Amino acid sequence: MTDYEIIELFFARDEQAIRETDAKYGAYCTSIAQNILKSPSDAEECVNDTYLKAWNSIPPERPNALKAFLGCIVRRLSLDRYRSWHTAKRDRNLEVAFEELSDCVPMRDEDTLVLRELLNEFLASLDPRDRITFMRRYWYAMPPAQIAKLDKISVNAVTVRLYKTRNKLRDFLAERGYRV
């Protein structure tokens, strides 16, 4: 079933929309939640919450890209759950990923829209290999060892690639007047 057809089911308030969404994007949403939460049961809850949020958002919203729409929802819900459940006991993988990025991207709310546009421009400027590695680490919260296994390269090669990409990002943002 196409994304358009699934969205039409949402607009018709047909519960089949949830089943079709799960069939097409369930594994994708689960992998995002699992990478962040490291718990199958928590990941499953976030995915179910994602479907509920999608049900309540469509309509009136009509996403252009259903996969990206669902990915944003599940990531946000997973990060919220992670923060609320792990304030005292932190998962070092996710914390390290945030620390790596904090050197070049300050986490401030007031610049969210500007930063989003700059990040999209930066990601578009990268070669596909670097863009995929960057997104796997900082969007999907994959540990470097998992990225290395997927790319069939060493963990060191992944960390070097990420280091160089973060430096490019820092320079890119500085060139455009974004203060770190």
- Contacts with 144 (C-beta within 8 Å, 6 or more apart), sequence order: 137, 155, 158, 159, 162
Tokens 């670097």 correspond to 130
Q: Whole-angstrom Cα distance, residue 158 to residue 121?
A: 22
CATH number, residue 139: 1.20.140.160
Same domain, 111 and 74: no
CATH number, residue 41: 1.10.1740.10
Question: What are the b/e assignments for 19-50, b being 16+ CB within 10 Å?
Answer: ebbbebbbeebbbbbbbbbbeeebbbbbbebb
In a domain, 131, yes or no: yes
Same domain, 110 and 141: yes
- Report residue 9 as tokens: 């089911």
Same domain, 70 and 105: no
pLDDT for the residue numbered 109: 53
Q: Whole-angstrom Cα distance, residue 110 to residue 105?
A: 13
Each residue of 81-137: pLDDT tens digit? Answer: 888 876 655 556 666 676 777 667 665 555 667 778 888 899 999 999 999 999 999
**How many other β-carbons are positioned within 10 Å of the β-carbon of residue 78?**
26
DSSP assigned state of 64: S
pTM attached to this predicted model: 0.68
In a domain, 180, yes or no: no
Mean pLDDT of the chain: 88
